[in-house]
């Protein structure tokens, strides 16, 4: 452990103390929780009940919950006879579905983004504020300046904390550099984080504050020192040194609380984070303190094999650590998933740093997040160790790299039901989808890429053909590849119904629909945020559908997504959720 790590740990130990103090006095004003749990149970009826069990729509009349579990599904008359003492929950025309599952979201990123500044190409709507989008370089610089000045004027501004602004994207906002940030903020440390979260820019004050020096990065091709620009592994490597300056514990806890509000408002009862950090005592400590308040959702974590390899230089040691995590850290609502690991292939789609077979129109090239030899070795070791491997892969060349490694492994070390899952999958073609299906590879995709990027990427980098065919979901679902959707917040709003809407309509930001042959039906799209999302994290026997024996986790919607016009799906209001039998209604409703 070097001195920087020590400083980080001590800071975080300090955070833990502060946080520990905070938890006790937090009154959680955003929720009114009505306890519906009685030992006699609750009969839900009087509206559509969409179970998401099986391959087609099933709508029973009544569901009974007892002790947090689903114990009966059938007619109302039978439910009333069998559970005479149960209380009734009348849906009054609302729709009951399994609670939505977010299989890929980063609480740490949410905790940093939400309480800080957001200046992005499009609007971000939060429970009590909308951060307006800006789509031209002059407008962006003006907003940046206003924001920096506003922060500077705050009495509480601490010259030792880093002011963070998320959402920059060069295709909308033009060039950015250390020099520009120095001009706008000569006295306060400022960090601008790219829309992709895979790049960061610092001004001089920030570089001094963190203690970075030119010498240590002179051979790093993923750092442009002159521009104060760190990207992909150049940024991932220094992130643990930067994070302590981005958010003190109080701000971090506020960020987690805002994330929690969004989770509840959008009908989610389970989230998972693939690629959880390696600072188990720090980041995990804060999350653990937050979850001790028992918010109405579960959090599952999957360790990052890439980060652990960086720490140990050895996959075997990483595996030993991963195997110890559940017994060491699991609580009732925050758990490491056993025998699962997250790896990283190519760069971020929002940065146009994914690896593309046919390159980019302007001649720039993609990046590997993990050197190829290491990536192949990591996939091989975890495959042989019988792990479920989750791999971040975005471009067709990045995805092809994984396909080829798995093809070789299926020859040398064949595995049934390995469930290796590709995450994000920005661009791939139909032929690759066929290979994916043949190899038993599964998918967790971000359909929102099409909405956010198709218009701009048609003009820059990819051209129309590729940009209009981002995230070809139907090529996968037609071949029975299990597909879940995720927001990878903040790579999409943490809104499962918005993801469903994008996949069903394939409408992009300018309002134009693309690649209609890749539209999927509403039921298949709903599976992607319920039962298939449960499968992505190997929990399909516990959650994800309304079936006897499963957890009584539900979302209650004002309208049935199977009945409204496809264009209206994202506007369906979430009335509330039921988590392990308890009703939760967000106070904003």
List residues near Zn ion by CB under 5 A.
488
Compute the distance between CA of residue 270 and CA of residue 539 in angstroms, rounded to an integer. 10
To Zn ion, the closest distance from the beta carbon of 13 in angstroms equals 27
From CA 277, how far away is CA 281, in angstroms rounded?
10
Q: How far is the CB of 213 from Zn ion (least distance, A)?
A: 30
Size of the chain in residues = 589
Nearer to Zn ion, 108 or 551 (CB): 108
Name which of 488 and 547 has its Cβ closer to Zn ion. Answer: 488
Distances (CA, A) of 543 to 83, 222, 505: 23, 41, 27
Cα–Cα distance measured from residue 119 to residue 303, given in angstroms and rounded to the nearest whole number: 30
Nearer to Zn ion, 457 or 489 (CB): 489
CB of 464 to Zn ion, least distance (A): 27
Tell me how far, at minimum, the Cβ of 394 lies from Zn ion, in Å. Answer: 11
Distance in angstroms (rounded) separating the CA atoms of residues 483 and 499:
12
The nearer residue to Zn ion, 117 or 488, going by C-beta atoms, is 488
Alpha-carbon gap, residue 296 to 324, rounded angstroms? 27
Residue with smaller CB distance to Zn ion, 442 or 488: 488
Residue nearest to Zn ion as judged by C-beta position: 488
- Give the shortest CB-486-to-Zn ion separation in angstroms: 8
Identity of the residue, 168 or 350, whose beta carbon is nearer to Zn ion in the bound complex: 350
Give the count of beta carbons closer than 10 Å to the beta carbon of residue 556: 23
- Residue carrying structure tokens 């653990």: 288
What single string gives the DSSP state of each residue in 410-438? HHHS--SS---EEEE--S--HHHHHHHHH
Q: Give 396 or 488: the residue with its C-beta nearer to Zn ion.
A: 488
CA distances to 55, 188, 502, 505 from 535, in Å: 14, 46, 21, 24
Tokens 């009114």, residue located: 32
**For Zn ion, the closer CB: 65 or 102:** 102
Q: Name the minimum Å distance from CB 549 to Zn ion.
A: 31
Minimum distance from CB of 275 to Zn ion (Å)? 6
SS3 content of the chain, % helix, strand, coil (to 5): 40, 20, 40
Closest distance to Zn ion from the beta carbon of 109 (Å): 8
Tokens of 249: 């514990």
Helix (H) or strand (E) holding 252: helix 249-265
């Amino acid at each position: 452990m070097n001195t920087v790590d020590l400083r980080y740990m001590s800071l975080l130990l300090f955070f833990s103390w502060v946080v520990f103090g905070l938890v006790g006095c937090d009154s959680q004003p955003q929720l009114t929780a009505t306890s519906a749990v009685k030992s006699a149970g609750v009969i839900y009826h009087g509206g559509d009940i969409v179970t998401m069990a099986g391959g087609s729509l099933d709508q029973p009349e009544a569901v009974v919950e007892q002790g947090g579990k689903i114990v009966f599904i059938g007619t109302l008359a039978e439910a009333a006879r069998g559970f005479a003492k149960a209380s009734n929950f009348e849906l009054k025309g609302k729709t009951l579905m399994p609670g939505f599952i977010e299989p890929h979201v980063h609480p740490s990123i949410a905790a940093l983004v939400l309480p800080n500044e957001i200046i992005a190409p499009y609007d971000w709507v939060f429970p009590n504020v909308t951060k307006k989008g800006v789509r031209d370089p002059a407008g962006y610089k003006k907003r940046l300046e206003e924001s920096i000045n506003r922060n500077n004027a705050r009495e509480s501004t601490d010259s030792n904390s880093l002011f963070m602004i998320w959402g920059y994207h060069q295709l909308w906002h033009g060039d950015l550099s250390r020099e520009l940030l120095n001009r706008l903020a000569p006295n306060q440390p400022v960090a601008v984080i790219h829309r992709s979260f895979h790049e960061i820019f610092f001004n001089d004050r920030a570089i001094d504050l963190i203690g970075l020096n030119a010498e240590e990065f002179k051979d790093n091709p993923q750092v442009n020192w002159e521009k104060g620009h760190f990207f992909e592994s150049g940024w991932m490597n220094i992130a643990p040194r930067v994070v302590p300056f981005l958010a003190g514990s109080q701000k971090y806890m506020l960020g987690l609380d805002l994330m929690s509000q969004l989770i509840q408002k959008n009908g989610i009862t389970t989230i998972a984070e693939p690629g959880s950090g390696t600072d188990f005592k720090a980041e995990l400590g804060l999350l653990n303190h937050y979850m001790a308040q028992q918010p109405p959702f579960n959090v599952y974590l999957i360790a990052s094999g890439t980060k652990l390899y960086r720490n140990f230089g050895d996959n075997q040691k990483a595996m030993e650590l991963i195997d110890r995590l559940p017994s060491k850290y699991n609580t009732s609502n925050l758990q490491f998933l056993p025998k699962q690991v997250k790896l990283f292939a190519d760069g971020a789609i929002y940065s146009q740093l994914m690896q593309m077979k046919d390159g980019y129109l302007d001649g720039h090239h993609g990046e590997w997040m993990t050197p190829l030899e290491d990536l192949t070795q990591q996939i091989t070791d975890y495959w042989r160790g019988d792990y479920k491997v989750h791999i971040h892969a975005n471009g067709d060349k990045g995805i092809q790299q994984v396909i080829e490694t798995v093809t070789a492994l299926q020859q040398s070390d064949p595995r049934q039901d390995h469930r290796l899952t590709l995450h994000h999958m920005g661009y791939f073609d139909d032929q690759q989808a066929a290979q994916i299906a043949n190899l038993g590879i599964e998918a967790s995709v971000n359909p929102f890429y099409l909405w956010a990027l198709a218009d701009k990427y048609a003009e820059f980098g990819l051209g129309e053909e590729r940009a209009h065919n981002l995230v070809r979901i139907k090529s996968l679902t037609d071949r029975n590849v299990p597909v879940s959707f995720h927001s990878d917040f903040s790579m999409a709003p943490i809104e499962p119904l918005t993801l469903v809407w994008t996949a069903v309509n394939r409408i992009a930001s300018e309002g134009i629909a693309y690649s209609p042959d890749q539209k999927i039906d509403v039921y298949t799209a709903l599976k992607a945020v319920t039962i298939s999302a449960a499968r992505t994290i190997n929990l399909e026997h516990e959650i994800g559908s309304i079936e006897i024996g499963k957890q009584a986790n539900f979302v209650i919607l004002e309208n049935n997504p199977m009945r409204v016009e496809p264009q209206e799906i994202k506007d369906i209001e979430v009335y509330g959720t039921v988590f392990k039998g308890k009703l939760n209604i967000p106070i904003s409703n």
